[in-house]
Structure 1
């Protein structure tokens, strides 16, 4: 435990969890937890809100159904749907509000709980959103306290930079402050503004290969290593890693070291225990990766087709050897070969790896932005 965390009070005290949670009373809605059967109706409300707020994306049924797959989630306790009063048929009325809270299971050096929710545009101004956020925050405090992890803690919410100012004010009045900014970037793959995708030569025993299922666990280990020094990032468990709605394996590429210096890596204090165990077992070593996603439903929202680089990274021991650039370039070529008009990705504006400069040099420009508000505990 670091000096910083050793001075912290136990998480059960810092989180100050409420003994009970009270569903909102504003708006005269009836409330219950979300179930898998709600997925189509829930999706419809979420996308209606996204359109009303001019968000640069929509969601898919696959993404909503995936929420019910994670064993670390308890949707009976961590979700809430608000329905207008029914007409007496015994069925739920119209879904007009929703909330969900999640605590990622792999958190180690800090423990986090994230809140999501929304209210139908026609029902805003009734106080529903304020009370719903209070419920979410209370549930997040309960989840953090129950984690038993006596490390720094965070309750986070996200908002588009150009989203409703009322949403930003809602978060601020509830005690959340802006902590981080993110940029969505895109670059043309066709037309007069498209610059050539660079040819990247890899040195030594490094080889570019397509993503394959048998290398996916090695890729997870590479990702956890690559993002250890990124703000707000924590290791992903195997179950978290498996949740990848929209994943496009045909657009995803890895850089593998076919002859790693195992002794040097094992001797390095930067080599994490999971990687060390994999090296001792003779498992393959992924040095860098580009995992892409296909979000076809977003083409109409953005006004162009695109391939999306969902995550990109290089192991810390391999930085400076162009492994991430090689994987990214391979992904862009795959996008273009499938007729995509642009390549897109998002980046933390304070990314420590110099990613912004890399993307700018490749012709990526900002198309939209978002921010994270948080309560730090």
Structure 2
């Protein structure tokens, strides 16, 4: 299924930021405040309860929560989070907003949160989304006005209640994504590339060159924002360097990165999946080297690395509407769709 992509609103056409934020729902025995790093164990317990009930095809680690709420350059939990806390310190709901780094192409504020199954159907989710949207508008008022903006969140397929809540709050489905996996028990094809191109292990010394290659490779992708050195280092708690590779062009004295594949090891997800998996987080080929089997060589090399470490599957995500032909590439290598998600947004 595809959507006609509407343009973002022209810069300067944003609604005024609210002077105050709506109060969260009044629940007996529950107080509301911002989150603190000391809340991480209680927050992890709340998220685990939500995921046990909703059964999404992943599980969120405490490290991921720390990165999302406290460690990023745009994190400010005192003003960008809110949580419902019982007298004994248990969390029953939380919400956060976060402006993603980089404002050259557009500005984006993403929402996240959860409500404990035992306190649902009491207006908590509706109240928290209203708080998030208002706070997001305040954040947007502080960011560059010369580029368009959106307030957004991802929803996994099958989450009908969450979709209905977002629609009531003014969100619309904007972009579709599909997760693919590949059985590593199947033969992995051999891949031949030009002799001047070599698949080599990722190293820390190459990392900033990989960042620059990524910015070039994704410059023509939808919603892509150039990665600063600071932003590039964020959210790496599950990075798997042993499963990450680059293709180097050594045809001249000026050695260049033609493409790269960066992997993640998300062990907390494996029980939910029911199998072990090596995950391709980022795959990119610079324009000059496209059509030369660079991506295929990277993918098959990563598959062999995953299999050598005992992984049962390789997996990755793809923008369903991407015009790069990536879907055909993955299907040709034996990847099959497993699930999908949707980006919901308010264009501001």
C-alpha separation in 1, matches of 2:103 and 2:251: 32
Is residue 335 from structure 1 mapped to residue 284 from structure 2 by the alignment? no
Q: Does 1:236 align with 2:238?
A: no
Q: 1:9 to 1:232 in 2, by over 3 A?
A: closer
Runs of 4+ in 1 over 4 A off after TM superposition: none
SS of match in other structure, 2:110: strand
> Contact 2:11–2:145 at 8 Å: present in 1 too?
no
User: SS at the partner of 2:57?
Assistant: coil
- d(CA) in 2 for partners of 1:355, 1:258: 26
Whole-angstrom distance in 2 between the partners of 1:341 and 1:291: 18
Q: 2:21 maps to which residue?
A: 21
Query: Are 2:162 and 1:170 aligned?
Result: no
**Offset, 1:315:** 1.0
The aligned counterpart of 1:197 is: 188
Match of residue 279 from structure 1: none
Give the CA deviation at 1:372: 0.8
Aligned mates of 2:221, 2:269 — CA distance in 1: 28
Matched with 1:49 is 50
Output the TM-score relative to the length of structure 1. Answer: 0.86
Residue-pair matches, total: 339
- How far off its partner does 1:80 sit? 1.1
Q: Per the alignment, in what secondary structure is the counterpart of residue 367 of structure 1?
A: strand
> 1: CA distance between counterparts of 2:57 and 2:250?
40
Q: How far did residue 204 of structure 1 move?
A: 4.9
Which residue of 2 is the match for residue 225 of structure 1? Answer: 216
Query: What are the Cα deviations for residues 289-322 of structure 1, in whole angstroms up to 9, with x where unaligned?
Result: 1101111111111111111111111112221111
Deviations 1:227-270 (A, max 9, x none): 11211221122122112121110011111122469xxxxxxxxx
Deviations 1:171-211 (A, max 9, x none): 00100000011111111101xxx2x2222222153221101
Instruction: Supply the distance in 2 between the matched residues of 1:81 and 1:258 (Cα, whole angstroms).
Output: 53
Give the whole-Å Cα distance in 2 for the aligned partners of 1:259 and 1:65: 43
After TM superposition, list the pairs within 5 Å mapping 1:10-159 onto structure 2: 10=12, 14-28=14-28, 29-67=30-68, 68-84=70-86, 86=87, 92=89, 94-159=90-155
Q: 1:368 to 1:26 in 2, by over 3 A?
A: farther
Equivalent position of 1:251 in the other structure:
243
* Contact preservation (8 Å) 1:177, 1:374: yes
Q: List gaps (5 residues or longer) in structure 1.
A: 262-281
Work out which of the residue numbers 333, 339, 347 in structure 2 matches 1:362. 333
Name 2:317's counterpart in structure 1. Answer: 346
Pick closer, same or farther for the CA change 1:167–1:330 going to 2, 3 Å. same
Normalization by structure 2: what TM-score? Answer: 0.93
Contact in 2 for aligned 1:26/1:127 (Cα 8 Å): no
Match of 1:323 in 2: 294
Instruction: Give a deviation string over 1:53-78, Cα, whole Å, max 9, x none.
Output: 11000011221222322222212111
CA drift at 1:52: 0.9
- How many angstroms apart in 1 are the aligned matches of 2:105 and 2:223? 10
SS at match of 1:14: coil
8 Å CA contact 1:26–1:131 kept in 2: the answer is no
Q: Distance in 2 between matches of 1:18 and 1:65?
A: 28
Unaligned runs of 5+ in 2: 1-6
